[in-house]
């Protein structure tokens, strides 16, 4: 089968490279000429561990274009992987999807072809896409064009492992169409491919489950899965708040409840809350869908409320120790919404920088990967870039750990805080596990630490080193 991927963002690019690695001829289609030019030269527009190496291995099977006329007619399976960002009312913006499907329809050649919704779309979108195909395909004939819902369950930072060794593959559509997709995914289902050296097959991994459903159920599975994970994180954060009140330790609590196989340990980490492109958008979309049918979803609304509260909580912890933030210098470590990605969508660090600036603080920020992307996407924010974590802390009155990069876990904190003007650490990801060897104030989420009175550094640091000013 020949494959075309419409959209080369996080989902589309990973899907294209993975299928090419499995041996298929894959054409990646995107309207962004600069992105396509970069991909033709081997330059990736996103950061994902291992993706560059897999691209190199699969490059012979990959083709990149901006032309629907070149990419659609020869394809047996067409994956739609365009963005569906949220509108102000919580509903997904389907304008990119509609445009892509119309362009696909206008270039279908009349042979049996399968159009796969890989984008996260509202319940009922599969039928809507089929109507667009019927209306705009010049040679539409009966069952020649089939629509399948095949939601992705990738985690940025581990997307390649999730693609090659999935828990399950969900296929929603007619028996014929899902059968064809089973053929396409046979190397994954049967695990007959040679594992890439840099993405080894997990120990004990066998085969993924294949779930065949209706279009509507497949669309609901995607939303329900993300909403449930968001609920777990917000639940952990709500319990963390009570832990602080009564003196319990949230990490001990979640370890204890996570060992119950009915609950499980993943997504029970208390901290600054969830971000990224999926959890907030998908949870809001479910709430909005419920509103369309007069059905309230109070649990999901509470999950969003708790997540919003966590971001305010981090700033409140700073204010508790620094009082007025006006004129203070605050370091923000981590800008991406999670480690091992450069994705800045709905990142807690964005809200921290925004609020700190509103309160009159100056912000210095550092991220091991995401700073180049932030220069393009966060031009509306005001902050100074630091060359390293140590440089960010130099002369700072406080530091917020916003992303749990391993680099921050292994930083010599006892040494680094000595260069701060004052030693206030708000560890919004609970990554610091060893006691500091120097006096400092450490605030974490759901953990009650002894908090010494504020102590200035033994030696006032030299003037902060100049950085790169970003934003207004």
Residue 156 annotated in ligand binding: yes
Residue 338 annotated in ligand binding: yes
Give the tokens for residue 351: 């809200």
Parallel/antiparallel/unpaired status of strands 25-29 and 168-172: unpaired
* Number of alpha carbons in the 13 Å side-chain half-sphere of residue 114: 26
Distance of alpha carbon 4 from alpha carbon 108, whole angstroms = 12
Residue 271 annotated in ligand binding: yes
Residue 153 annotated in ligand binding: yes
Distance of alpha carbon 227 from alpha carbon 307, whole angstroms = 12
CA distances from 410 to 334, 372, 406, 407, 416 (A): 14, 23, 6, 5, 11
Residue 222 annotated in ligand binding: yes
Burial class of 232 by CB neighbour count within 10 A (0 to 12, 13 to 18, 19+): buried
Question: Which position among 81, 243, 245, 278 bears the catalytic label?
Answer: 278
Residue 268 annotated in ligand binding: yes
Residue 289 annotated in ligand binding: no
DSSP readout, 340-394?
A: T----TT-HHHHHHHHHHHTT-EEEEE-TTTHHHHHHH-TTS-EEE-SSHHHHHT
Q: Sign (positive/negative) of CA torsion 334, 340, 342, 346? A: negative
What is the Cα 471 distance to its own chain's centre?
Answer: 24
Residue 337 annotated in ligand binding: no
Residue 247 annotated in ligand binding: no
Residue 272 annotated in ligand binding: no
Q: In what order do the strands lie in the sheet with 441-444?
A: 441-444, 424-427, 398-401, 329-333, 362-366, 383-385, 468-470
Segments in 59-158 forming alpha helices (H): 68-71, 95-105, 125-136
Left if phi > 0, otherwise alpha if psi is -120 to 50, otherwise beta: which for 20?
Answer: alpha
Is 278 among the catalytic positions? yes
| Residue with the two structure tokens 């001829």 | 25
Evaluate whether 435 touches 408 at the Cβ level (below 8 Å): no
Residue 318 annotated in ligand binding: no
Residue 30 annotated in ligand binding: yes
- DSSP code for 214: -
Evaluate whether 251 touches 454 at the Cβ level (below 8 Å): no
DSSP readout, 29-70?
A: E-S-HHHHHHHHTT--SS--TTHHHHHHHHGGGEEEES-HHH
Residue 281 annotated in ligand binding: yes
Parallel/antiparallel/unpaired status of strands 383-385 and 25-29: unpaired
Binding-site residue positions = 30, 35, 84, 120, 153-156, 222, 267-271, 275, 281, 338, 345
Binding-site residue positions for NAD(+) = 30, 35, 84, 120, 156, 281, 345
Query: What is the set of active-site residues?
Result: 278
Binding-site residue positions for substrate = 153-156, 222, 267-271, 275, 338
């Amino acid at each position: 089968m020949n494959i075309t991927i419409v959209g080369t963002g996080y989902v589309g690019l990973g899907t294209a490279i993975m299928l090419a690695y499995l041996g298929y001829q894959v054409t990646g289609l995107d309207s962004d000429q600069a992105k396509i030019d970069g991909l033709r030269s081997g330059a990736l527009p996103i950061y994902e561990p291992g993706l560059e190496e897999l691209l190199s291995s699969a490059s012979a099977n990959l083709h990149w274009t901006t032309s629907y006329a070149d990419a659609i007619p020869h394809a047996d399976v067409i994956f739609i992987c365009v963005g569906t960002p949220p509108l102000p009312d919580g509903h997904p913006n389907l304008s990119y999807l509609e445009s892509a499907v119309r362009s696909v329809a206008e270039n279908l050649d009349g042979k049996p072809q399968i159009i796969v919704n890989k984008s996260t779309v509202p319940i009922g979108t599969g039928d809507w896409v089929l109507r667009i195909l019927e209306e705009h395909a010049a040679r539409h004939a009966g069952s020649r064009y089939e629509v399948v819902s095949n939601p992705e369950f990738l985690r940025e930072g581990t997307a390649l492992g999730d693609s090659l060794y999935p828990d399950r593959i969900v296929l929603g559509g007619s028996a014929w169409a899902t059968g064809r997709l089973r053929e396409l995914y046979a190397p994954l289902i049967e695990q007959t491919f040679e594992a890439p050296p840099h993405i080894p097959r997990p120990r004990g991994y066998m085969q993924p489950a294949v779930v065949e459903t209706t279009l509507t159920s497949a669309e609901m599975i995607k939303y329900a899965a993300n909403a449930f994970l968001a609920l777990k994180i917000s639940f952990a954060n709500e319990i963390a708040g009570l832990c602080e009140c009564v003196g319990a330790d949230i990490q001990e609590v979640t370890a204890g409840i996570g060992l119950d196989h009915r609950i499980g340990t993943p997504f029970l980490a208390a901290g600054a809350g969830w971000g990224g492109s999926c959890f907030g958008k998908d949870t809001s979309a479910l709430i909005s869908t419920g509103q369309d049918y007069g059905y309230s979803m109070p649990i999901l609304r509470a999950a969003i409320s708790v997540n919003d509260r966590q971001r305010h909580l981090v700033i409140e912890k700073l204010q508790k120790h620094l009082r007025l933030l006006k004129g203070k210098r605050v370091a923000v470590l981590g800008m991406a919404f999670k480690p091992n990605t450069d994705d800045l969508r709905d990142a807690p660090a964005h809200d921290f920088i925004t609020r700190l600036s509103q309160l009159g603080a100056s912000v210095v920020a550092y991220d091991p990967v995401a700073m180049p992307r932030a220069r393009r996407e966060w031009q509306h924010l005001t902050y100074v870039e630091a060359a390293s974590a140590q440089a960010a802390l130099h002369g700072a009155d406080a530091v917020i750990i916003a992303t749990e990069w391993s680099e921050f876990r292994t930083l010599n904190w006892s040494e680094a805080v000595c260069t701060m003007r004052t030693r206030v650490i708000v560890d919004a990801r609970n990554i610091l596990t060893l006691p500091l060897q120097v006096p400092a104030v450490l605030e974490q989420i759901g953990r009650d630490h002894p908090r010494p009175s504020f102590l200035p550094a033994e030696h006032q640091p030299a003037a902060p080193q100049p950085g790169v000013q970003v934003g207004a």
